[in-house]
C-alpha cells in the first residue's frame, strides 16, 4: 500500500505549527499511522543543519547559495532516511514545510536563479513529491503582527531567516502565489485569517476525502 504525503506551507505566523498537530491528532483518531516532521530537520543530521541555518551565532555571513544547499542537504537526508520508508509502509506523512518553501524563500526571497533552485530541489527529492500541499495564506501585515507577538510572548530564540526585511517577505509571498497558480491541483490555498477552528475545518474538508480514497 502506498502512503500519503501532505505538506504545509506559508509565510511566518501563518499558523502551521498550530494546524499541523491538529490534523495529525484527527488522522490518528481515524486509526491511521501518521508521521510528523518539520523542515529543515526531521533527522539527527537535519536538526544539526537546522541549528546552523536558523539559530547559530556563527551564521550571520551565510550566503544565499549556502542556505539553498544546506536546506536541501537536510531535505535529502529526510527523504531517504524517513519519508520514503514510511510511505512504503503505507503511512501518512505530514511535513511542516518542504520544497515549496525553498522555491519561495531561497528562489524568490533570496532571488537565486529559479532554474538552479529547481535543479537542487530535484537532486534532493527525486520523485518524492507531496500528494497535497496546504498553503496557509496570510496578508503580510497580519504575518508581521503575529511574528512580533510571538517574539514578545515566547522566550526569544534568534531565527536568522526571520531577520530579513519586508521586501524579502513580499517576494516570498509572491513565490507562494505563483507556485499555487502553477499547481492548483496539488497546492490548496487556505485563508489563514480565520479562527483556529475555521482553518481546521477548511483543512479537513480537503484532507478527509483524499485520505478516504488513498489510504482507506
Instruction: List the CATH number of the domain containing 106.
Output: 3.40.50.300
Grid cell 526569544 is found at 156
How far is it between the farthest Cα atoms of the chain?
A: 49
Rg (CA), the chain: 17
Q: Specify the number of domains making up the chain.
A: 1
Residue 108's pLDDT is: 98
Tell whether pTM > 0.85.
yes
Identify the domain containing residue 201 by its residue range.
4-214
Residue 193's pLDDT is: 94
Long-range pairs for 139-142 at CB < 8 Å and ≥24 separation?
A: 139/193, 140/11, 140/166, 140/169, 140/170, 140/173, 142/13, 142/193
pLDDT values of the chain reduced to their tens digit, one per residue, 216 residues: 589 999 999 998 899 999 999 999 999 999 999 999 999 999 999 999 999 999 999 999 999 999 999 999 999 999 999 999 999 999 999 999 999 999 999 999 999 999 999 999 999 999 999 999 999 999 999 888 887 777 777 676 788 998 899 999 999 999 999 999 999 999 999 999 999 999 999 999 999 999 998 875
Sorted by sequence, the CB contacts under 8 Å of residue 2 that are 6+ apart come out as 87, 88, 90, 214
DSSP type of residue 135: E
Q: Is 111 helix (H, G, I), strand (E, B) or coil?
A: coil
Do β-strands 187-191 and 132-137 pair in parallel, antiparallel, or remain unpaired? parallel
Amino acid at each position: 500500500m502506498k502512503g500519503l504525503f501532505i505538506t504545509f506551507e506559508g509565510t511566518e505566523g501563518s499558523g502551521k505549527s498550530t494546524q499541523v498537530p491538529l490534523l495529525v491528532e484527527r488522522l490518528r483518531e481515524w486509526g491511521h499511522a501518521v508521521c510528523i516532521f518539520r523542515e529543515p530537520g526531521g533527522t539527527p543530521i537535519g536538526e544539526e543543519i537546522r541549528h546552523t541555518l536558523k539559530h547559530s551565532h556563527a551564521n550571520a555571513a551565510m550566503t544565499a547559495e549556502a542556505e539553498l544547499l544546506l536546506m536541501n542537504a537536510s531535505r535529502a537526508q529526510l527523504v531517504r532516511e524517513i519519508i520514503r520508508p514510511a510511505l512504503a509502509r503505507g503511512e501518512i506523512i505530514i511535513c511542516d514545510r518542504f520544497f515549496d518553501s525553498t522555491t519561495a524563500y531561497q528562489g524568490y526571497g533570496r532571488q537565486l536563479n529559479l532554474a538552479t533552485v529547481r535543479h537542487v530541489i530535484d537532486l534532493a527529492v527525486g520523485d518524492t513529491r507531496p500528494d497535497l500541499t496546504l498553503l496557509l495564506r496570510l496578508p503580510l501585515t497580519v504575518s508581521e503582527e503575529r511574528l512580533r507577538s510571538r517574539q514578545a510572548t515566547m522566550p526569544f530564540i534568534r531565527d536568522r531567516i526571520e531577520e530579513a526585511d519586508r521586501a524579502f517577505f513580499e517576494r516570498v509571498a509572491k513565490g507562494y502565489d505563483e507556485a499555487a497558480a502553477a499547481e492548483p491541483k496539488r497546492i490548496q490555498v487556505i485563508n489563514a485569517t480565520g479562527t483556529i477552528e475555521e482553518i481546521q475545518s477548511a483543512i479537513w474538508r480537503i484532507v478527509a476525502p483524499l485520505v478516504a480514497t488513498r489510504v482507506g
